[in-house]
């Protein structure tokens, strides 16, 4: 039988390409950001892009702990976001709202357009893109577990997990008591302590990981996988995805709703219904937000010595500079010229 040290050595050898010994033993890491995309890039090992949807200055905080086979984090964001996400391969991601199971919780998150309930958690396998739409003042726990480690722990604990269903699921229905126990364990794990600093003892790291796996599998053992997606809903998801693709393929053109209807061969009413059902937004709100977020990324990456605000605005289909500046300030809480000046090279 392998010792804990042998298991840890094996985990390092099999870790993702961006991992290594430092990944295996890490204390808490906390970051803060005032831009949605900057916040997205603060999460270790993820491929992400965030679009801000609600108006006001953004603030986000991320607290992360990395264990030998696992990543655990708590994310808090001040504004509504559309999140395009993909986590490292050979893993499962579980999303647990910080207020999961509580009465009177905030507006739910949408995962690939699907709403989750009060006693639901979200799940997606690694290396498969997924989309979240989160409300303002949102708090979420995230757990990424190497598939092999989760399977092995389930065998040891004698848990019956629907692995095939888990691979396909987006939403899991779980028991309230098990969910509350999981949230409490995650809160405790992400509290500062003196024992779990960078370079923590490997046995201690494995002990922390085993504790999280135990409460997670207790929850999964009593879960119900919801893999049902109505054909009508899948069609609405397709309409929204095609609309976004068309917009991004023509960033310098102010795409209108009638043009989208013509391109996608749907009525205006159908387009409206698709966007409201999948994203909780109207097509006009979504189109404007995507273009403004594209312009913000462009401004943050541009060199102020060689780029002007009006050039970036035109690239994203905004031909009336004063209206662009007004809409930009309303969404992000600052003028586009301020974003450009703050760019660092």
What does the pLDDT look like over 195-245, one tens digit per residue?
Answer: 445 555 566 777 888 889 999 999 998 788 776 665 678 888 899 999 999
Q: What is the mean pLDDT of residues 90-103?
A: 78
Task: Give the tens place of pLDDT for each residue, 42-89.
Answer: 999 999 999 999 999 999 999 999 888 999 999 999 999 999 999 999
Q: What is the mean pLDDT of residues 93-105?
A: 70
Is residue 40 scored above 50 in pLDDT?
A: yes
Is residue 256 scored above 90 in pLDDT?
A: no
Looking at residue 15, what is its pLDDT? 43
Side-chain-side CA neighbours of 189 within 13 Å: the count stands at 31
Is residue 344 scored above 60 in pLDDT?
A: no
HEC profile for the chain? CCCHHHHHHHHHHCCCCCCCHHHHCCCEEEEEECCHHHHHHCCCCCEEEEEECCCCCCCEEEEEEEECCEEEEEEEECCCEEEEEECCCCEEEEEEECCCCCCCCCCCCEECCEECCCCEEEEEECCCCEEEEECCCEEEEEEEEEHHHHHHHHHHHCCCCCHHHHHHCCEEECCHHHHHHHHHHHHHHCCCCCCCCCCCCHHHHHHHHHHHHHHHHHHHCCCEEECCCCHHHHHHHHHHHHHHHHHHHCCCCCCCHHHHHHHHCCCHHHHHHHHHHHCCCCHHHHHHHHHHHHHHHHHHHCCCCCCCHHHHHHHCCCCCHHHHHHHHHHHHCCCHHHHHHCCCC
Most confident of 27-41, 163-177, 195-209: 27-41
* Percent of the chain surpassing pLDDT 90: 56
Looking at residue 104, what is its pLDDT? 47
In which band, very low, low, confident or very high, does the pLDDT at 17 lie, cut at 50, 70 and 90?
very low
d(C-alpha 280, C-alpha 82), whole Å? 11
Residue (of 237, 198, 229, 223) closest to 64 by Cα position: 198
Between residues 195 and 322, the one the model is more confident about: 322
Looking at residue 101, what is its pLDDT? 46
Residue 63, both tokens? 């607290």
d(C-alpha 345, C-alpha 332), whole Å? 22
Cα-Cα-Cα-Cα dihedral sign, residues 307, 309, 310, 314:
positive
d(C-alpha 66, C-alpha 170), whole Å? 24
Mean pLDDT (the chain) is: 84
List residues bridging with 292 in a β-sheet. Answer: none
Looking at residue 42, what is its pLDDT? 95
Residue 283 Cα distances to 228, 256, 276, 277, angstroms: 26, 9, 8, 11
* Percent of the chain surpassing pLDDT 70: 84
In which band, very low, low, confident or very high, does the pLDDT at 166 lie, cut at 50, 70 and 90?
confident
pTM of the model: 0.86
d(C-alpha 170, C-alpha 125), whole Å? 9
Domains of the chain: 4-226 (2.60.120.10), 231-341 (1.10.10.60)
CB neighbours (10 Å) of residue 170?
A: 20
Looking at residue 201, what is its pLDDT? 58
């Amino acid at each position: 039988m392998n010792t804990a040290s042998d298991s840890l050595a094996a985990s390092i050898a099999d870790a993702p390409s961006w991992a290594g010994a430092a990944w295996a033993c890490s204390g808490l890491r906390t970051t803060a950001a005032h831009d949605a995309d900057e916040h997205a890039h603060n999460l270790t090992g993820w491929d992400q892009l965030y679009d801000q949807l609600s108006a006001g200055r953004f603030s986000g905080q991320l607290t992360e702990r990395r264990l030998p086979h696992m990543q655990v984090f708590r994310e808090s964001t001040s504004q509504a976001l559309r999140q395009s996400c993909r986590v490292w391969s050979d893993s499962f991601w579980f999303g647990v709202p910080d207020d999961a199971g509580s009465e009177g919780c905030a507006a739910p998150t949408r995962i690939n357009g699907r709403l989750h309930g009060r006693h639901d958690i979200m799940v997606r396998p690694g290396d498969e893109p997924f989309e979240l739409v989160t409300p303002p003042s949102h708090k979420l726990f995230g757990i990424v577990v190497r598939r092999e480690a989760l399977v092995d722990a389930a065998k040891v604990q004698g848990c019956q997990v629907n692995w095939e269903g888990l691979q396909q699921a987006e939403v899991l229905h779980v028991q309230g008591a098990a969910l509350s126990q999981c949230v409490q364990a995650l809160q405790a794990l992400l509290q500062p302590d003196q024992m779990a600093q960078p370079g923590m003892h490997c046995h201690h790291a494995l002990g922390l990981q085993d504790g999280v796996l135990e409460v997670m599998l207790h929850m999964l053992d009593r879960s119900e996988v919801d893999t049902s997606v109505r054909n009508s809903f899948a069609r609405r998801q397709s309409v929204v995805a095609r609309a976004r693709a068309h917009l991004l393929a023509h960033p310098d053109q102010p795409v209108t709703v009638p043009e989208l209807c013509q391109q996608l061969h749907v009525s205006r009413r159908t387009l409206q219904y698709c966007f409201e059902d999948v994203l909780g937004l109207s097509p006009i709100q979504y189109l404007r937000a995507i273009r403004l977020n594209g312009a913000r990324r462009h401004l943050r990456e541009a060199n102020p010595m060689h780029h002007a605000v009006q050039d970036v605005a035109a690239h994203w289909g905004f031909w009336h500079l004063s209206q662009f500046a007004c809409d930009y300030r309303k969404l992000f809480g600052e003028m586009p010229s301020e974003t450009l000046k703050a760019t660092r090279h």
